Amino acid sequence: NAGVTQTPKFRILKIGQSMTLQCAQDMNHNYMYWYRQDPGMGLKLIYYSVGAGITDKGEVPNGYNVSRSTTEDFPLRLELAAPSQTSVYFCASSLDSRYGYTFGSGTRLTVV
Amino acid sequence: DQQVKQNSPSLSVQEGRISILNCDYTNSMFDYFLWYKKYPAEGPTFLISISSIKDKNEDGRFTVFLNKSAKHLSLHIVPSQPGDSAVYFCAASGGSNYKLTFGKGTLLTVNP
């Protein structure tokens, strides 16, 4: 049982480049989330999805886009990367928030 | 507006002693609370939870206490072990079944 799988684990981008962070879960969870964690800071919600075809903004959505075409996949797209997007990105999924989230192992992104 | 607050960024304890991590919340709609543990370079993992109908939940060395009138919860680790050294996040659920609100985390260091 893989849980939540994130790829890549590490990436260095140049300013202005674009990339997609991949996230897949095999638990048939309806709810999926993208968070970022900056050094010494907590988790900030970027986008979330309550089901295939439905997405919504979190606290810090600027500079990012998401799509949810299937229950399993929830990719996060960075357009025109900026140094402020240097962070560790976590994807998570949930059946119900009372049961908690299952997190992926994270993608460490550096924009130079 | 921070609805879940962990006011201590860090805590240091001796091996074998008790670790007490605190969390305060402001939203009366929260009815389920969770603690997550995060090691460096890994995603957060679920540790223990408590429903608002209870005031205590225990799982081995970990106990969570909830004081609804004070809107306060605490995580007790007894006895503390060096392997417990990690960042601990408090999270709360309520009003919806898909969204958790996280605190900023407390870095626990257990010294041998």
Over residues A21-76, the pLDDT tens digits come to 999 999 999 999 999 998 877 899 999 999 999 999 998 999 999 999 999 999 99
pLDDT reading at B81 higher than 90: yes
β strands within chain A, DSSP E: 4-7, 10-13, 19-25, 31-37, 43-51, 54-57, 64-66, 76-78, 87-94, 102-103, 107-111
Residue B42 touches chain A, beta carbons under 8 Å: yes
Q: Which of A37, A45, A46, A94 to mutate to test the interface with B (most CBs of B within 10 A)?
A: A37
Report pLDDT for B98.
Answer: 75
A31: closest chain B residue by CA: B98
What single-letter DSSP state applies at residue A83? G
Residue B37, beta-bridge partner list: B45, B88
Of the candidates A41, A50, A103, which has its C-beta nearest B43's C-beta? A103
What are the C-alpha distances in Å from A66 to residues A61, A93, B59, B89? 10, 15, 37, 26
- The verdict on a CB contact (< 8 Å) between B99 and A48 is yes
pLDDT reading at A1 higher than 70: no
Report pLDDT for A97.
Answer: 79
- The verdict on a CB contact (< 8 Å) between B42 and A41 is no
Segment B66-82 shows an average pLDDT of 97
Q: Average per-residue pLDDT in chain B?
A: 94
A76-78 and A64-66 as β-strands: parallel, antiparallel, unpaired? Answer: antiparallel
Of the candidates A96, A98, A103, which has its C-beta nearest B44's C-beta? A103
Report pLDDT for B2.
Answer: 80
- The verdict on a CB contact (< 8 Å) between A43 and B49 is no
Report pLDDT for A49.
Answer: 95
Q: Average per-residue pLDDT in chain A?
A: 94
Report pLDDT for B94.
Answer: 84
Convert the pLDDT of each residue in B10-51 to its tens digit: 999 999 999 999 999 999 999 999 999 999 889 999 999 999
Residue B46 touches chain A, beta carbons under 8 Å: yes
The answer to whether the beta carbons of residues A94 and A100 sit under 8 Å apart is yes
pLDDT band at A2 (very low <50, low <70, confident <90, very high): confident
pLDDT reading at B75 higher than 80: yes
A108 contact residues in B (CB cutoff 8 A): 41
